[in-house]
Every structure is written in structure tokens, then in C-alpha cells.
Amino acid sequence: MKAEIISIGTELLLGEITDTNSAYLAGQLPLLGLDIHFMSTVGDNQHRLVDTLRQAWQRSDIIIATGGLGPTQDDITREAIAELLNEEITIDPALVKKFQELFSYYKIEMPPSNIRQAGVIPSAQIIPNPRGTAPGWWIERGERIIVTMPGPPREMQLMWTQEVLPRLQQRTEGTVILSKTLKIFDLTEAKVDELVSPFLSATNPTLATYAKADGIHLRITAKARLASEAQQLINQREADIRAILDDNIWGVDSESLESIVGALFMAKGLTLATMESSTGGLLANVITNVSGSSKYFRGGLVTYADEAKAAFGLDAQLISQYGAVSAEAAEAMATVARDKLGTAIGVGLTGVTGPIEIEGKPVGTIFVGIDDGQRKKSLAKNYPGNRLQVKQRAVTSALFELRRILL
Amino acid sequence: MKAEIISIGTELLLGEITDTNSAYLAGQLPLLGLDIHFMSTVGDNQHRLVDTLRQAWQRSDIIIATGGLGPTQDDITREAIAELLNEEITIDPALVKKFQELFSYYKIEMPPSNIRQAGVIPSAQIIPNPRGTAPGWWIERGERIIVTMPGPPREMQLMWTQEVLPRLQQRTEGTVILSKTLKIFDLTEAKVDELVSPFLSATNPTLATYAKADGIHLRITAKARLASEAQQLINQREADIRAILDDNIWGVDSESLESIVGALFMAKGLTLATMESSTGGLLANVITNVSGSSKYFRGGLVTYADEAKAAFGLDAQLISQYGAVSAEAAEAMATVARDKLGTAIGVGLTGVTGPIEIEGKPVGTIFVGIDDGQRKKSLAKNYPGNRLQVKQRAVTSALFELRRILL
């Protein structure tokens, strides 16, 4: 079946906001076995919107429209669909009552314009919106389906996953498409491609690689008549890939490396401290983005200047012998962090983020040091990219190494 | 004149990448006095692309297409436009020679497929691409213009500013549109709107407000026959607004708050140290995102746990009296940072980022303390939002306060 996505709103045509809904939905529809041939953006103009809907109605089986469901006069998606289908809009009293209850709960007077959002046509079923007052519409006419959802991504995504996706899954009967993403670090995209090449030409499950800030994502997608069959295809392929990529896989799907490392610290009852120079606090910042990180993260030192390194007890002799950007410095920084903050594990991070080389080491050089009280370890890397990219890669390296040591 | 934007590429329809080119171009075209009525995305399918181009040709004066100019068989923008205009593609020998020189400079053998990128039709003028091998096309036929540009944003944006924008400016003769953005902190969007309301209804220059992570952006846009006239309109309106919003304006256009604060530290020859708890290193990280920050930023302490605060000499008595989340703690942290790292100025940052309240203070509470050696100062704020948003706002508050003190 062919699907088409329409984004509605003059603010999109003025470049004031970037349309992320289309890419989100475009990523979801193939999982239902739906093909997308077109995506369009149109402003808050009823004539042009009706033209765009009519064209989609002629060439596609499913139309998914986002935006234009607000309460004001420039929100014209409801009117445009009524015109397309030649139906009348009437106000649904049950929806009006619901809006009134919602506003009175927040002790706000309901603006009269909100009544417009309770408008509905005979063909449309109301799709509830748990995060706003704009309900969606689900319309079936012959073989065709039209879905409308609100424009704000947090409202749209919840409505999609809770309401629209399950209904579409029923319609695309007989086919279940599932996918799982394996997250990989310390290998290039070309290397991952090469290692999994025996499976790249398979058509079920398929494999796709994506280069991301936290490494390479490898997506396995399987199609079957039953969810259990699709799941089994994914499990088998995942096992094949794990046998090859071994411990370069640090997580799956929506997991983040910092939350995985955090869970390992919690499980083992260990504590962590950091000492950073070139990354300037990014490692500590990423670690503390995890809710509950105060249970294992004691604190960190950001020693950007050499005087700051000395002020916290880093051996000046060692720096002058090996340089501030060295494996020896990274290990010594790990030890200082551990000692100063009394933790089980200390991490030291030093490097060159640019714009110019330091101590003859090129931009992109980084050293990670780890001291767990029993032994010290370090690793050296060189990453391409600008200042922010090098900082990001250095922090991912440090987290990946922490994970390795904790396992 | 009516313009239409077409984005070409199956990867966009699969949701593998988000189309940022459309929003970029949509933001640029109004500056030329061009209206955008439609934006479309279409995959690497010649039949569907020709249909989309034909529709745009019928309803718009200017078509701007991005993507599909690569060397491989699935890049079909050139072929689709040739079909639309019923012209033949021939290979331009001068372009082939240029590609060969480029590849030999990098000591790479030129893949035969790159020859396709030297294809051109009689109506098209070649637009040079300084950042890649995909040239653009500039086509004029009667009153209509078609422009093609490569899909990668860094290639497209340079081609746009250097080549396409100047040509379009000549066509939209007699009108120059300029804009300037004022960046504001510590006022809500509604408050900014209220304060500048005398100027909101003006049609030249116009005002528009946008809520962003670093505060409110206020864009002034002026239209005139000469650039100097447009500039003068902007200057006058900027003076009007500065008279009202005073020192809530911290910068303009592409300036960042951290780079402005950094430039002030450099100009005054002062040094800085930080001590953070709830923001977990984000302040130090943002400060060190500025190239050259090592000239004024000595380092920072991330004291996430109370033990860590004590380990670096924060008065435990003070914490137990006022709490770790207090103005007193923030000021004392500023002093510890300044003393430990021997800097002119110290900043302390403490607060509650969630998910639960601390010491009876609700999520979103933050305290910034600053010690410049002569006096200590603190401010208290409460921000809505999730963990990452509260961290971001807290850091923006601290940088904004540093700017105030340095001025």
C-alpha cells in the first residue's frame, strides 16, 4: 500500500521551524510494510491544502497529515478535509464537555476559539490526544484512509504510538515488521559493513548501518505473518552478528551509553570520579544527564590549564617528562580523581581539541586513563572532526572503556 | 513571485535523514521577497520526480531543487529535468577535465561514474560547487527559473550564498530585504512581546519573536530599494528596542553567550574558575566549547555529592545550616573555585534538576553565585522543563550574570 505524508503550517514554509514530524513518520511507515512515495508541506491556506489533499487522495492509499488542528482561524485542516470529502462539520458536545473539564481543572477560562477543536465530520472518528486539546481524526472511505494528527511533535508522537500505529497494524493485516538496532563503538562504518557482509544481501531480515555521534547503529528489520516469527528472525540474526562483533556492541534500541554505564555502577555498588582537561567537563555533564547518577557519580575536576592540574596534585615532573597530553598524564589524572574524591574508580581524559596541535600531538589525539585501585590502564585514539566532534568522541571512548572494565 | 522547494532523495522518504535544506531555503526566500506556497519531497524515481517538477512548473515562477546530483545511477535529477524540458544531456568536456584535476590532486583514481556529474542540457548554466563534485544548474526558460543544488547541506549552503542568492537578487531587482536578530535573556516571550508591542504592528521593519534554548530571539526585518536604506531602518528600530529592553539584550545574529563572555574575559585579562553541583559540568563544558577558552578558563570542580563538596573545602557547617541548594552555598562554591584555582572570578552553580525535590526545594530551582574578589553576589531562579532543559537554563543564567558583572 502507498502512503503519503502532508505537513501543514505556514511556519514550516517560512523556515521558522524544521519539520521533524515527516522524518519521524517516514521512519515508522516502512515497519508497517507501507511505501512512501511523496511528502509535501503546505501553508495555512485552505485552497492550496485542498488541492494537495486531492492529489494525494488520487495517488495514495493512506494519507497522514500533521498540523493545522489548533483553535485559531488559521488552523484549517478540519475545513479542508470536510471540503475534500464534501461533508459538513458539526460540534461534538462530548468533546466540548471534555475541554471544559480540562480547562476548569487548570482553573483557566476556556477561550471560545477552542470550540473549533470539537468540530467533526460524519466520516471521522475522533483520536484522543492525551497531551493537548487538538484531537486527531481517523477517516476510512472505501479503500482509503486519512489520518490527521496535531503538529507539536510530543503530541503527535504519543498519538501515533498509542492510537494510530495499532489501528494501521490491523489494516496491514498478515504482515508484521519488527526491527532492532544494535549500537556499536570502536569500529568504522566500512569495517562493520565488511564484517557483517555475509548478511547484507539477505532480504529478510535486512540490515542497515548508520553512522551516529555515539558510534555505528546496525538495524535489523524482519517481516513475517506473526510477531513471534519476526521476533525469531531478529533473534537469530542478532546472535549471528553478536558472534562476529563481540563486545563492540554496547547496547540496543534507545539505550544510551551513559545510562548503561550508570546501571553497571549501580549494580556493582561502585563509585566514580573524573578528571578532564581537553573535554572541559563534557564527560561529567554526560554522566549527570542520567537521572539517579548522584548514586554513583561523586564529582569531577576540570583542569583546563596546567596550573589547575598542578593545583589538584597532578605531578608536575610527570607532565614535564611525558607532556600533559600523554597516556601517563591520563592515568595519573585518573588516580588523582579517585584519590581526591574517594571513589572506587577514577577516569582521566586529556587530548587536543584544536584549533592547533599541542606538544607536537595533532588535533584529534585523545588519551583515556582509568584507575580502579588495582591497576591503571590507558588507551590512545585519534579522531577526525571539529572541536565539538572530538570532545564528543573522546567522551564516548571513555564511557565505552568504563563499560569494558565493569563487565 | 512564487517559489517552490523540492527535496529529492529516497533516504528522506525512509526517515533516515531529516531534511534541513527545505527549512534553510524557506528562511532565505522571504528575504528576496519571494513567497513559498509548497515544499515537496520525492524519492529517487524519475517518473515521480518528473510529475512533481511538472506540477511545480505549472504553478510556480521559481523552482529550487536540492539533491539527486550524485554520480550513481539512483541520482536522477539531471535526467528528470532534461525530460521535463525535452532536452538532451551531453557531457561537458571542461567539467570532466576539472574533475580529473581534482581527483589527481588527491591522488585518487576518478571513478567512471563521476562522468555523469559533467552532464548538462543546453538551457542550463553550470553553477560551481567549491565543496564537492556535484555542480548545480541554473535554468531560465521564459519567465521561469529552475535551480538545482546538491543535497549535502554544507555544499548546498555555500552554493546558495555564493552563487544562487546573488543571481536571484538581480532578478528580484529593486528590493533589498535585510534582517538582524537581537538575543534576549531573563524575559519571557510574552513579556518581550508586551514591551515591544508599539512596534509589532509596523510593516517595515517587521518584528518576530522566537523562544530558543538561550533565551528569546527578536528578529527585525526591513525592506527597501537600497541596502543602505534597509540598514538604516534596522538601525533605527534596533535603537528603539535597545532603549526599552536595555541590558536584557546580550548579543546579535550568530553570536553565542559563551563566546561573548569569553571575549569579555580576554579583553579584561581576567581568569575564571567554576564549581558546579546540579549542572554536573555543563557550565565548564559550554565555556570550553569556545576556541581559545584556555586563555581565561583555568578549570572547574564538579561536586555532585555532598562528600565531594566537603572534599574541596566547602564549609560543611554552612551546608547543614542553609542547605546544599541555597544562595549561601552557591556563593561559597564560587569562593572555593576562585581560591582553589587562583582566578580573578569564581562561579558557583547549584540547584535541583529532578526527578525529585531536594531539601524541600522544587525541581527547577537554581542558584548562581559569583565571587570577583571584592564582593559576592547570588541570584535565584526557577525554570520549568526536564532535567536537560533545567541544566541548560541554569548555565545560560550563570553566563548571563557573568556578562552583567564584566560589563
The rounded distance, in Å, linking the Cα atoms of A284 and B304 is 9
Across the interface, of B15, B43, B291, the residue whose CB is closest to A37 is: B43
Alpha carbon A82 to its chain's center: 36
At B174 the pLDDT is 66
* CA B93 distance to own-chain centroid: 39
Measured between alpha carbons, how far is B130 from B158 in angstroms, rounded to an integer? 8
With H, G, I as helix, E, B as strand and everything else as coil, classify residue B77.
helix
- How far does B93 lie from chain A, in Å, by closest CA? 33
- C-alpha span between B400 and B215 (Å, rounded): 10
Contact B311 A341 (CB under 8 A): yes
Q: Pairing mode, if any, of strands B176-184 and B206-212? A: unpaired
For residues B319-328, average pLDDT: 95
Q: Which of B35, B36, B210, B302 should be substituted to probe chain A, the one whose Cβ sees the most A Cβ atoms within 10 Å?
A: B302
CA B270 remoteness from chain centre: 29
CA pair distance A191, B293, nearest whole angstrom: 36
For residue B137, pLDDT beyond 80: yes
B267: distance to nearest CA of chain A, Å? 19
- The answer to whether the Cβ–Cβ distance between A283 and B281 falls below 8 Å is yes
Sheet strand arrangement including B144-149: A124-127, A136-141, A144-149, A62-66, A2-8, A35-42, B35-42, B2-8, B62-66, B144-149, B136-141, B124-127
Question: How many percent of chain B have pLDDT more than 70?
Answer: 100
Q: If one looks up domain B257-406 in CATH, what number appears?
A: 3.90.950.20
Is the pLDDT reported for residue A389 higher than 70? Answer: yes
- Give me A250's grid cell: 554496547
Give the β-pairing of A249-252 and B345-351.
unpaired
> Per the CB < 8 Å rule, is A297 touching B303?
no
Reading phi first (left if > 0) and then psi (alpha if -120 to 50, else beta), residue B385 is in left
Minimal-distance CA residue of chain A relative to B301:
A301
pLDDT of B105 reads 79
**Which positions in chain A touch B388 (Cβ < 8 Å)?**
289
Nearest to B304 among A45, A280, A294 (CB): A294
Mean pLDDT of B276-293: 96
Q: Is A298 in contact with B308 (Cβ distance < 8 A)?
A: yes
Angle among Cα A223, A229, A232 to the nearest 5 degrees reads: 100
Q: In angstroms, what CA-CA distances link B370 with A45, A86, B285, B365?
A: 52, 65, 18, 17
How far apart CA A294 and CA A279 sit, in angstroms, is: 21
Helix axes B257-268, B387-406, angle to 10 degrees: 30
Q: Residue B77: its pLDDT value, please?
A: 97
Mean of pLDDT values over B121-141: 93
Chain B residue with the nearest C-alpha to that of A48 = B37
Buried b (16+ CB within 10 A) or exposed e, A220-248: bbbbbeeeeebeebbeebbeebeeebeeb
Which residue is closest to A290 within chain B, CA to CA?
A: B387
Q: B119-120 and B90-91: which strand pairing?
A: antiparallel
Q: Is B104 left (phi over 0), alpha (psi -120 to 50) or beta?
A: alpha
Instruction: List the one residue out of A80, A86, A46 whose CA is nearest residue A63.
Output: A80
What mean pLDDT do residues A304-313 have?
A: 88
Banded model confidence at residue A86, pLDDT cuts 50, 70, 90: very high
Handedness of CA B355, B361, B366, B367 (dihedral sign): negative
**Mean pLDDT, residues B181-196:** 88
Alpha helix (H) residue ranges in B254-381: 257-268, 282-287, 306-311, 316-322, 327-341
Contacts of B262 in chain A (CB under 8 A): none
- The cell numbers describing B280, all together, are 554536573
CB contact (8 A) between residue B293 and residue A274: no
For the residues A58-73, what does the mean pLDDT come to? Answer: 92
Max CA-CA distance within chain B?
A: 84
The closest alpha carbon to B400, from B356, B338, B347, belongs to B347
Q: Is the pLDDT of residue B107 over 80?
A: no
Residue A90, pLDDT > 90, answer yes
Locate B391 and state its grid cell: 541544566
Contacts of residue B78, defined as CB under 8 A and 6 or more positions apart, other chains included, come to B68, B69, B89, B116, B119, B121, B137, B148
Q: Assign B345 to helix, strand or coil.
A: strand
Q: Is A253 left (phi over 0), alpha (psi -120 to 50) or beta?
A: left
**Which residue did the predictor score with more confidence, A340 or A32?**
A340
CATH architecture of the domain with range B176-252: 2-Layer Sandwich (3.30)
Count CB neighbours of B275 within 10 A. Answer: 31
Per residue in A126-154, pLDDT (tens digit) is 999 988 889 999 999 988 999 999 998 98
Q: What is the pLDDT of residues B71-105, one digit of tens each?
A: 877 889 999 999 999 999 999 999 999 989 888 87
pLDDT of residue A395: 97
Over residues A9-22, the mean pLDDT reads 86
Contact: A23, B19; criterion CB under 8 Å: yes
Give the minimum alpha-carbon distance from B400 to chain A in angstroms, rounded to a whole number: 19
**What number is the average pLDDT over the span B7-35?**
86
What's the DSSP call for residue B111?
P
> Chain B: residue nearest A28 by CA?
B15
Distances (CA, A) of B343 to A282, B263, B297, B300: 21, 17, 9, 11
Instruction: Give the nearest chain B residue to A388 (CA atoms).
Output: B289
Q: pLDDT class for A72, splitting at 50, 70, 90?
A: confident
Please judge whether A40 and B39 are an interchain contact, meaning their C-beta atoms are less than 8 angstroms apart.
yes
pLDDT tier at B369 (50, 70, 90 boundaries)? very high
Matching CATH number, A2-171, of 1.10.3720.10, 3.40.980.10, 3.30.70.100, 3.20.20.70? 3.40.980.10
Of B37, B280, B312, Cβ closest to residue A284: B280
pLDDT of A174 above 80 = no
- How far is residue B317 from each of residues A63, B276, B370, measured CA to CA in Å? 65, 19, 20
- 3-state SS assignment for residue B107: coil
For residue B185, give the DSSP letter. -
Q: Given this model, what pLDDT does residue A339 score?
A: 95
Candidates A281, A222, A291, A221; CA nearest to A256 is A291
Contact A301 B304 (CB under 8 A): no
Q: State the SS3 of chain A.
A: CEEEEEEECHHHHCCCCCCCHHHHHHHHHHHHCCEEEEEEEECCCHHHHHHHHHHHHHHCCEEEEECCCCCCCCCCHHHHHHHHHCCCCEECHHHHHHHHHHHHHCCCCCCHHHHHHHEECCCEEEECCCCCCCCEEEEEECCEEEEEECCCHHHHHHHHHHHHHHHHHHHCCCCEEEEEEEEECCCCHHHHHHHCHHHHCCCCCEEEEEEECCEEEEEEEEEECCHHHHHHHHHHHHHHHHHHHHHHEEEECCCCHHHHHHHHHHHHCCCEEEEECCCCCHHHHHHCCCCCHHHCEEEEEEECCHHHHHHCCCCHHHHHHHCCCCHHHHHHHHHHHHHHHCCCEEEEEEECCCCCCECCECCCEEEEEEECCCCEEEEEEECCCCHHHHHHHHHHHHHHHHHHHHC
Tens of pLDDT, residue by residue over B148-168, are 999 989 899 999 999 999 999
Give the whole-angstrom CA distance, residue A306 versus residue A315: 11
- pLDDT category at A282 given cuts 50, 70, 90 is very high
Distance between CA atoms of residues A84 and B300, nearest Å: 62
Nearest by Cα to A53 from A82, A75, A89, A84: A84
**Domain ranges within chain A, ordered by starting residue:** 2-171, 176-252, 257-406
Q: B98 with B128: CB under 8 angstroms?
A: no
Contact list in B for residue A298 (CB cut-off 8 A) is 304-305, 307-308
Angle at B136 between CA B135 and CA B137, to 5 degrees: 125
d(CA A324, CA B299): 15
Convert the pLDDT of each residue in A201-222 to its tens digit: 888 998 888 778 888 999 898 8
Q: What is the structure's pLDDT at A304?
A: 87
pLDDT score for A160: 96
- Chain A residue numbers with beta carbons less than 8 Å from the beta carbon of B341 are 307-308, 311
All residues at 6 or more sequence positions from B178 whose CB lies less than 8 Å from its CB, including other chains: B31, B221, B222, B227, B230, B231, B234
Phi, psi of B111 (to 5 degrees): -65, 140
Look up cell 537581537; give the residue: B182
Query: Which chain A residue lies closest to B278 (C-alpha atoms)?
Result: A288
Confidence of residue B191 (pLDDT cuts 50, 70, 90): confident
- Which stretch of DSSP H or E encloses residue B376? strand B376-382
B14: nearest CB among A26, A276, A284:
A26
Torsional sign, CA B9, B11, B15, B20 = negative
* Whole-number average pLDDT of chain B: 91
pLDDT category, B221, cuts 50, 70, 90? confident
* Residue B355 confidence (pLDDT) above 90: no
Per the CB < 8 Å rule, is B41 touching A42? no
